Every structure is written in C-alpha cells, then in structure tokens.
Amino acid sequence: MRLLPALTRAAALGAATILAATALTACGGDSSSDATANPYGLAQPGVLRAGTLTDAPPNVFLKDGKFTGFDNDLLTAVAGKLGLTVEFVGTDFSALLSQVNNRKFDVGSSSITITEARKKTVDFGNGYDFGYFGLDVPAGSPITGFDQLAGKRVVVVQGTVQDDYATGKQLDPVRVPDYNGAINQLKAGTADAWIAPAEIGEKSAADSNGKITVAAKQLSPAPTAYAVAKGSDKLREALNKGLDEVIADGTWSRLQAQYYPGRPIPADFTPGSGTVTAPSASVAPSASVAPSASASAAS
C-alpha cells in the first residue's frame, strides 16, 4: 500500500517529462516550418515589399496607378523566378536606405548606386545596371561642364550619389528632397546647375519649354543594385540567383531595349554575377517612356 504514492509520483514525473519533450519538439517544428514557409525572412511570406520612387522615369515611376520602369519591371521578373510577388510602395530617396535597413521594406528599388558609405547602412546584390550623371542648367547659362561648378549654386537631391559627388567636390550643394524640387529651383533661377540622373535631367529639359538645357553628361562611377537590410544574406543571394536567370533568359536585354533604346553598354560593364551571358534583344521603345530618355539614372 505504501508503494502506490511513490509509483504515482514516478508516473506523474514521467508524464511531465514526456510533455516537456513534446513541447520542445513542437517549438522546434514551428521554427523549421516558419523557415520553410518564409526562407528569405520577408515581412510577409511570399511577398517582396519594395520601396521605390514615383517620379524617376524611365527607371522607376508610377503610371496609371502602377509602379513600373526598368528597375521595377526587372525586380518583378527576378521575384517571379523565386516564386514571389512584389508589392511596391512609394517613398523619398533620402529615406529609402534607412527604411530598407529597419525592414520597413524588404528591398530598395531605385537605381541605387553602390558606394562604400551606403554599404554601412545596407547590403547590395550584384549590379544590374549602369548610369550617367547629367548636368542641367538654366537656358542661356555659360556653364558647359562639371569642371565649372566651383562657386556656383548647385542643387542635388538629398542622399543620392549626385549629392555624394557634389559633396566630394566641395561644391556645398543645396539639397532638396525630390526631383521636382530641383527642377523648380532651375526654373525659378534660384540654382545655377542641377547634378541629376542623366535621363531625368534630359526629360526635365525637354519638358521645360526651353527654360532648362543639358550642359554635360558623364558615366557614374559604380553600378546600380537592389538594396536589402544588413545581414539579409539569404534574400540577397536569392535575388542574385534570380537576376542571373533573367539575364540568361533574355529578360534583362529586352527591358534594356525597351526602356533605353539605342543606349550603348560600356565595354567594362557586366550585369549580375558575370557568369551568364545576356543575349541581345531589340524591341520597340515603351510608349510610357519619353524617346529622349536614352541614358539611365544613377541615384
């Protein structure tokens, strides 16, 4: 009779041990399941949330309520290779990289030039495009080149590679939050020059009724790439893999021809990992892109 309580206690302890082990196994199973369902650590499994701009054609822009442009169409194709859909959200470029790093967005898509300074905030995938700087000036300006900007009132969009360039040249630039702000300064005569992404500057000049002209253009010093939060290695590697696939299947070449008709590709530029070859493609220019926009942006 005295053995029964001891046996009962032993049985209870055994049951508790089994329950604890089961609970631990269940927790481990949930973690494994989450990793399988969301291997890239996205805010929403299966959906790539991308921060982009609304006003920078032909790279990234909003048309008829839809985000489009070379960068965004390419990202959609890359995401498709990974079985993901893309949700684009408009933002200001000056805030984009910090928003990517704090994971408001899974990825930044806005012709983002790779720089050492930016690598301190975000990680970059492989380069997918190159770009040019443009120099816009008011009509009648004597400025004809980048070497004539010392002592001038130069406007740039804050946080762009053009901002970095002007700062590096000690031009003490006037910083504005968006492209419209820069254009308005030129039109109003409150700026002597705007260092711009080349094709945006070209389109702005064409649409200015003769108030703005393009004085010069030069190749950007580094390629553009998609940005992800620091430490998002699985997502970055997956985007690189998807990029190589859309290069190999001709999508990259088709979009290049669509958005930048007639634009030559520098001999020393290779998109993606460099292990795949981009087939040539020739298609009619997109109706949504101004014919003069033949040089890509670099922000």
90 shares its domain with 71: yes
Question: Tokens 């006003």 identify what position?
Answer: 55
Residue 98 and residue 117: Cα distance in Å, rounded? Answer: 13
65 shares its domain with 208: no
Domain presence at residue 16: no
111 shares its domain with 239: yes
Q: Is 210 left (phi over 0), alpha (psi -120 to 50) or beta?
A: left
Strands 132-138 and 193-197, bridge-based pairing:
antiparallel
Q: What is the pTM of this model?
A: 0.74
For residue 144, the domain's CATH number is 3.40.190.10
101 shares its domain with 233: yes
Q: Identify the pLDDT of residue 33.
A: 60
Domain presence at residue 289: no
CA torsion 219-179-167-294 (nearest 10°) is: 0
Evaluate whether 106 touches 49 at the Cβ level (below 8 Å): yes
Nearest to 155 by CA among 147, 164, 163: 163
Of 203, 219, 235, the one marking the end of a domain is 219
Question: Tokens 């000056």 identify what position?
Answer: 94
User: What is the count of structural domains for the chain?
Assistant: 2
Domain presence at residue 116: yes
Contacts of residue 230, Cβ cutoff 8 Å, sequence gap at least 6: 101, 121, 122, 123
Strands 107-113 and 47-52, bridge-based pairing:
parallel
Q: 116 is in which domain, residue-wise? A: 47-130+222-259
Domain presence at residue 184: yes
Nearest to 52 by CA among 174, 220, 224: 224
Domain presence at residue 37: no
Residue 77 and residue 7: Cα distance in Å, rounded? Answer: 65
229 shares its domain with 214: no
Of 219, 244, 270, the one marking the end of a domain is 219
pLDDT in 10s for each residue of the chain, 299 residues = 444 444 444 444 444 444 444 444 444 445 556 678 899 999 999 999 999 999 888 889 999 999 999 999 999 999 999 999 999 999 999 899 999 999 999 999 999 999 989 999 999 999 999 988 999 999 999 999 999 999 999 999 998 999 999 999 999 999 998 888 999 999 999 999 999 988 889 989 999 999 999 999 998 878 999 999 999 999 999 999 999 999 999 999 999 999 988 888 888 899 999 999 998 754 433 333 333 344 566 77
192 shares its domain with 145: yes
Contacts of residue 86, Cβ cutoff 8 Å, sequence gap at least 6: 47, 48, 49, 50, 72, 75, 76, 79
137 shares its domain with 93: no
Q: Identify the pLDDT of residue 184.
A: 92
Q: Identify the pLDDT of residue 32.
A: 57
111 shares its domain with 232: yes
Of 198, 219, 240, the one marking the end of a domain is 219
Count of all residues that appear for the chain in the document: 299
Domain presence at residue 206: yes
Q: Identify the pLDDT of residue 34.
A: 63
83 shares its domain with 199: no
Q: CA 219 → CA 196, 222, 223, distances in Å?
A: 12, 9, 10
Strands 47-52 and 85-90, bridge-based pairing:
parallel
113 shares its domain with 232: yes
CA torsion 204-129-86-241 (nearest 10°) is: 180
Domain presence at residue 8: no
202 shares its domain with 145: yes
Residue 191 has phi, psi (to 5 degrees) of: -135, 145
56 shares its domain with 125: yes
Domain presence at residue 195: yes
Beta strands in 158-264 (DSSP E): 174-176, 193-197, 212-219, 224-229
> Listing from the earlier edge strand, what are the strands of the sheet with 174-176?
174-176, 154-157, 193-197, 132-138, 212-219
- Burial class for 120, CB neighbours closer than 10 Å (0-12, 13-18, 19+): exposed
Tokens coding 106: 């899974």
Q: Identify the pLDDT of residue 183.
A: 92
